[in-house]
Structure 1
């Protein structure tokens, strides 16, 4: 594995890891993740593809968020990487999948004008930057606005140096924690999370991106999700061959997003992985099943 970087439209450096050989495939991580969160998936695919693992803004090898971060900046980062590498296949997860959708709609092959409902308009990109697209549970809210009320408490906790408490606030808002979260006293949850963060800090090696480092990214991720909430109608402009992936154990709102996209994205295929949750594509130590996801990607991409 080696590393490289590309410069996005606004001058921000986007770093990436690269491994394997063959046609290019970009793996775009999700919320509270970094490039290395999908290292095991990349290793499973490296015999078939050259896999690019970018760090999205604000973490790892990449530069910081700008003062007014919006979805178009994220799309420009992905566009720069695709142009630099020549890759035309993308696998993207959660907020990263929402960014990939936004990018694909901006660059529908041979199109001009702006599709109805698309927040950033549409750019012409000749043959299109993304030809094949696999989306794992995009963070798209189809039944109402994305929840943001929790941000006030999260910001207070971050400002007070209570990173663990801020992460618990975010996880409860996103309904991504285990069911026992709703039964445990909040003070106990915060204490256990603080202990977990401290243990991770002690074990972190050179180049590792810890949960404590990722905590401040949530404010920016939430803005992107809120900006693109209920934008599913715009994704009729996606010209890429598309597969929608999800897990049977994931929260209901991810399934609702996939249902909506299945109706809108032209010709989209759909696969649900039994017994898998929202972290299914990540490394095994975070609850992922990377080999199962890799098998679906090989089947789809061919």
Structure 2
């Protein structure tokens, strides 16, 4: 029979599990953030008097969470663990297999502990339930003797301090503002897609680039919000959105369709660089739901004006991710696709942005699937897109020649496409110069 305690701990010897639940005044959205943001979870994870350090947190099926907890007074040795995510349902459920690790981050052989965390709305708040499993009764008894359940309970109490006292417990005002504005919509396959809606006027959906969530395009989204109702979102596999496997580019089109419904049934689309391939695919598939497109510097390679993508680019990226070599995946993208000289890479790795890209390194393969056939140094496929909405293909006046060649090729292929130039800007303008980009988009889409 399960044994309960006053702390809400249930020890079930029949299933070799420890179950703990807590109800908080904060909503599911905020609780999810606290469990999936590495800076947030470091503030509460572990029992009272212990400090947590997060070394890796890749919240997606197959992704890892590496962390250490250590007593603040140095009274005991640090404890290291590796959790491998098995299921991620945004703002609903996390499942992971937990293992203790040695100093070299290798499993120490004590076993794997399956853990499930669920997030359930409770009025205006939420209930978080944790169920930790153990391989056998002996392992469960050892956990009881080590007071693992009490440690979990203390950690969930510390979580309450963070959730229920936002003005004193949030990692940064900026992050809290972003999180409080996020909503979710359910895509056709049941995946939760997190999005943010700002501004007023005709709807426009901003599609982010590879290896970034919706915050990566926050500048252009804000600049557009003066004339549009702007929807920016976490593409699947990024931020607070789900990432069921296997990945299928068609599901990203379903996500955009769901967001168009949120926006009122029709919307323009905009993106920069690699996101332009998805924007075109979505516009072609969704027909009249898309009112127009503004594409900034699609990086298509249509001739010999630059080297094409490696023939095995996608397979190589997928192999790197499967091997857990996320930093190497970023390096491969930078050197082989962007053309960054190898000698620049060590300095780039010292910048915090490198870790952010490594977090989303799996998306290089995702976008590689979308961009397949568009970066081979050959003419664009004549039968891939059929779009009646007006299309602006913008290039920077200081941009590379192959980008302009691609823009002209796209305009020759699609009768409603117009090539525009953004003077005095280069490929980075969609992110670094959002105001002139937004103005050009507004002028084209709204006349």
After TM superposition, the score normalised by the length of structure 1 is: 0.76
- 2:336 alignment partner, one of 168, 173, 180: 173
Residue 176 of structure 1: CA displacement? 5.2
Higher percent of residues as strand: 2
> 2 CA distance for matches of 1:81 and 1:16?
8
> 2 CA distance for matches of 1:64 and 1:33?
14
- Deviations along 1:163-210, one digit per CA (max 9) or x if unpaired, are 433312211111254xxx26x2xxxx443233224x776xxxxxxxx2
- 1:295 alignment partner, one of 415, 432, 439: 439
Judged with a 3 Å threshold, the aligned counterparts in structure 2 of structure 1 residues 169 and 21 are, in CA distance, closer, same or farther, namely same
In the alignment, does 2:253 pair up with 1:72? no
- 2:295 alignment partner, one of 135, 145, 160: 135
Q: How does 1:132-281 map to 2 (within 5 A)?
A: 132-143=292-303, 146-150=309-313, 154=317, 158=321, 162-175=325-338, 177=340, 181=341, 184=343, 189-197=344-352, 210-226=356-372, 231-234=380-383, 237-281=386-430
Judged with a 3 Å threshold, the aligned counterparts in structure 2 of structure 1 residues 200 and 147 are, in CA distance, closer, same or farther, namely closer
> 2 CA distance for matches of 1:254 and 1:232?
17
Judged with a 3 Å threshold, the aligned counterparts in structure 2 of structure 1 residues 153 and 40 are, in CA distance, closer, same or farther, namely same
Higher percent of residues as helix: 1
Aligned residues: 260
Residue 5 of structure 1: CA displacement? 1.7
Uncovered stretches (5+) of structure 1, i.e. residues with no partner? 109-127, 202-209, 283-287
Could you say what secondary structure the match of 1:226 adopts? Answer: coil
Aligned to 1:21: 200
Q: Which structure has the larger Rg?
A: 2
> 1 CA distance for matches of 2:315 and 2:387?
35
Aligned to 1:36: 215
Judged with a 3 Å threshold, the aligned counterparts in structure 2 of structure 1 residues 98 and 154 are, in CA distance, closer, same or farther, namely closer
> 1 CA distance for matches of 2:251 and 2:358?
24
Contact preservation (8 Å) 1:148, 1:222: no
Contact preservation (8 Å) 1:14, 1:63: yes
Judged with a 3 Å threshold, the aligned counterparts in structure 2 of structure 1 residues 277 and 211 are, in CA distance, closer, same or farther, namely same
Judged with a 3 Å threshold, the aligned counterparts in structure 2 of structure 1 residues 293 and 146 are, in CA distance, closer, same or farther, namely same
Contact preservation (8 Å) 1:70, 1:224: no
> 2 CA distance for matches of 1:234 and 1:220?
22
Residue 107 of structure 1: CA displacement? 3.2
> 1 CA distance for matches of 2:329 and 2:370?
19
- Deviations along 1:10-47, one digit per CA (max 9) or x if unpaired, are 22221111211222111111122221111111222222
Uncovered stretches (5+) of structure 2, i.e. residues with no partner? 1-177
290-299 or 155-164, which moves further after superposition? 155-164
Judged with a 3 Å threshold, the aligned counterparts in structure 2 of structure 1 residues 7 and 134 are, in CA distance, closer, same or farther, namely same
> 2 CA distance for matches of 1:48 and 1:19?
10
Considering Cα pairs closer than 8 Å and 6+ residues apart, tell me whether 1 or 2 has the greater RCO: 1
Output the aligned Cα RMSD. 2.7
